């Protein structure tokens, strides 16, 4: 997806890949033989990549995607269920071990885009919903099969589902466990945009590079404010929002933005 000269690093024994180019970081779930099902090791690898991208000032926006054409992430790696998720106690340990990577993804300060092609199911859909934006090819399929496995979908993921599609569509998706296509996913707001398979890379990269060209402090302020306003009023950190607003107005980038506007040129932001 990125230029061929972009260096790729392997994590989780090669099942997680990371690359970066021109302000854009790329994370690839790389287990195509299992439709990129997420193993415990892959969650650890995801956390390690996010730590590196968080500290890398050259990365302004991150794309997450699945290897191959059959799946974004088809869900959790069911082959590990018998060993790691065979009881309520085992499930608690699984949640603890995988929760570190999940928490890092949800708390990641830079904007994230899910590039989706193929199956985006269960835990894979939870990952996609945790991204800031979701762009999918027209051959993608979405669903939450929890009701067919007699398991409960995580409350935080249910909350994100409701925030995106509303309670009526959330009930339909969860109660029936049926798959929906990309056209329906776009109609109900589960994804931001559907495009054909051939244009998917170009569409996602265009959005990513547009974001990367904008002022990082302003983009982060928007992400922070949106996330806080989605919380119950009593839980919102209005102090953090106010502090970030002040950082923006006191920044060199704010001066650069004003100057570039007056000089009718493209601004060059540094994140300071």
10-61 confidence digits (pLDDT tens): 999 999 999 999 999 999 999 999 999 999 899 999 999 999 999 999 999 9
- As a whole number of angstroms, the distance between CA 269 and CA 217 comes to 9
Enumerate the domain spans of the chain: 9-212, 215-263
Per DSSP, 35 falls in state T
Query: pLDDT at residue 96 above 80?
Result: no
pLDDT greater at residue 7 or residue 243: 243
pLDDT of residue 4: 78
For domain 9-212, give the fold. Answer: 2-enoyl-CoA Hydratase; Chain A, domain 1 (3.90.226)
- As a whole number of angstroms, the distance between CA 264 and CA 127 comes to 40
pLDDT band at residue 90, thresholds of 50, 70 and 90? low
pLDDT band at residue 75, thresholds of 50, 70 and 90? confident
Task: Count CB atoms within 10 A of the CB of residue 154.
Answer: 15
| Threshold 0.85, pTM exceeds | yes
Q: What is the mean pLDDT of residues 232-244?
A: 97
Query: pLDDT at residue 3 above 90?
Result: no
Reported as a single tens digit per residue, the pLDDT across 182-217 is 999 999 999 999 999 999 999 999 999 999 999 999
Q: What is the mean pLDDT of residues 222-243?
A: 97
pLDDT of residue 89: 66
Query: pLDDT at residue 84 above 80?
Result: no
Q: What is the mean pLDDT of residues 119-125?
A: 95
> Quick one: residue 51, left, alpha or beta (phi over 0 = left, psi -120 to 50 = alpha)?
alpha
pLDDT of residue 79: 62
Burial class from Cβ neighbours inside 10 Å (0-12, 13-18, 19+) for residue 131 reads buried
Q: What value does the mean pLDDT of the chain take?
A: 93
Residue found by looking up tokens 């800031």 in the block: 132
Distinct helix (H) and strand (E) counts, the chain: 11, 11
Sheet with 141-143: list strands edge to edge.
Answer: 71-73, 119-121, 141-143, 180-181
Helix 252-263 crosses helix 216-229 at what angle (to 10 degrees)?
A: 120
pLDDT of residue 1: 80
């Amino acid at each position: 997806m990125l230029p061929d000269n972009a260096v790729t690093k392997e994590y989780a024994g090669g099942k997680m890949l990371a690359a970066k180019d021109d302000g854009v970081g790329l994370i690839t779930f790389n287990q195509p033989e299992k439709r990129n099902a997420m193993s415990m090791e892959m969650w650890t690898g995801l956390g390690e990549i996010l730590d590196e991208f968080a500290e890398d000032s050259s990365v302004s926006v991150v794309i997450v995607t699945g290897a191959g054409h059959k799946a974004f992430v088809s869900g959790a790696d069911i082959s590990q269920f018998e060993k790691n998720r065979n009881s309520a106690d085992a499930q608690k340990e699984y949640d603890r071990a995988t929760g570190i990577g999940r928490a890092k993804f949800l708390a990641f300060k830079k904007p994230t885009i899910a590039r989706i092609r193929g199956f985006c199911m269960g835990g894979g859909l939870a990952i996609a919903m945790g991204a800031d934006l979701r762009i999918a090819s027209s051959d993608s399929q979405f669903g939450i099969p929890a009701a067919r496995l007699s398991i409960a979908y995580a409350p935080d993921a249910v909350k994100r589902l409701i925030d995106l599609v509303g309670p009526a569509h959330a009930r339909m998706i969860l109660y029936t466990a049926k798959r929906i296509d990309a056209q329906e996913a776009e109609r109900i707001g589960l994804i931001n945009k559907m495009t054909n398979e051939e244009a998917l890379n170009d569409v996602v990269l265009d959005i990513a590079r547009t974001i990367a060209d904008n002022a990082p402090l302003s983009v982060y302020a928007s992400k922070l404010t949106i996330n806080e306003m989605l919380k119950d009023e009593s839980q919102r950190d209005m102090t953090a929002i106010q502090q970030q607003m002040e950082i923006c107005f006191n920044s060199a980038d704010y001066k650069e933005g004003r100057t570039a506007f007056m000089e009718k040129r493209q601004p060059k932001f540094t994140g300071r």
